[in-house]
A = this chain, B = another copy of it.
């Protein structure tokens, strides 16, 4: 599928500079674009690379100054480029909505309009599926779970019993919502499991990454607040109360009964100790380990985590250590000489 550059400019309502008849056969980012393809440059560092690309044209911001190659100038570079990528690689047409005969759906399930259930999915007793929900193959929606509208559950994700899910929630493949919490009391030398009577509650617009696990509460809900986005392979322990609009990056672990305010950011591989409370807009650096409560608007780094300023203060002194050692030796020599004289 080839297009002329002028047609692409029209498609994105952009300002063309260059030959409108140039044939364009695909779209790719700068590092990968080949001759005949269109690329994008959204800011100066990338604009300055346009002279070296093999691409035949570029999408650039309206105010960009470049004559390295034919360009389409637009208000929002990423929106325009996405439109062009979709032109060359059109989104797959969704099959008709409906419940596959190869899915296993309990007769008691409450299915709203335009729900899609793919082959191999299982939906348990008393489940409720809001309008336009899509349950992919192999996903298991266990008994009593409630889904809002426009929820997508990708293949092989598992929602244990009585999970409560808001609207417009995405749950990626192999995520597990509502498994047992990790709590034991030792009795006669054996670990006895604590009660597992709670469930998980996901607010509206929550997204849960592939392979992420969120454990059920002991007696009540583990809560993920509305608008919070969770990356792949994150672990949220039992009874956690995660606030709204958090960003929780890949491989983060939040231990049981911890809680976060709104707009908290946890960077990759960070950990939060059990029962710790993080205030609104707290930011935790990658690989950091938070051991104590953190007040709002604080950035924490390190393991154990400390305030950003303190972390860098310590790091500076750390680097001075070898010089301090040398200086100390020379002073000692001086003093030894004084004493012996």
Residues of A near any B CB (own CB < 8 A): 27-29, 31-32, 40, 78, 81-82, 85-86, 89, 92, 95, 100, 102, 104, 118-120, 122, 125, 136-138, 140, 142-144, 154-156, 158, 160-162, 170, 172-174, 176, 179-180, 182, 184, 189-191, 193-195, 197, 205, 207, 209-211, 213, 215, 217-221, 227, 229, 231-233, 235, 237, 239, 241, 245, 247, 249-251, 253, 255, 268-269, 271, 273, 286-287, 289, 303, 313-314, 317-322, 324-325, 327-328, 331-332, 334-335, 339
Contact = CB atoms under 8 A, between A and B. Distances in A.
A137 B194 CA distance: 25
Contacts of A176: 172-174, 210-211, 232
Nearest to A118: B122
> Per DSSP, are chain A's interface residues mostly helix, strand or loop, or mixed?
loop
Nearest to A205: B190
A231 B179 CA distance: 10
Nearest to A82: B195
Given A182-B231, A314-B322, 6 more contacts: A138-B138, A140-B173, A313-B322, A318-B321, A328-B331, A331-B331
A213 B232 contact: yes
B227 A179 contact: no
A241 B324 CA distance: 42
A92 B178 CA distance: 15
A65 to B, nearest CB: 24
A197 B85 CA distance: 7
Contacts of A251: 235, 251, 253, 271
A161 to B, nearest CB: 6
A19 B75 CA distance: 68
A160 B170 CA distance: 14
Contact of A28 (B118, B219, B249): B219
B233 A213 contact: yes
A158 B138 CA distance: 10
Contacts of A140: 120, 136-138, 155-156, 173
A195 to B, nearest CB: 4
Contacts of A174: 156, 158, 174, 176, 211, 213
Given A28-B220, A120-B138, A325-B324, A235 B233 contact: yes
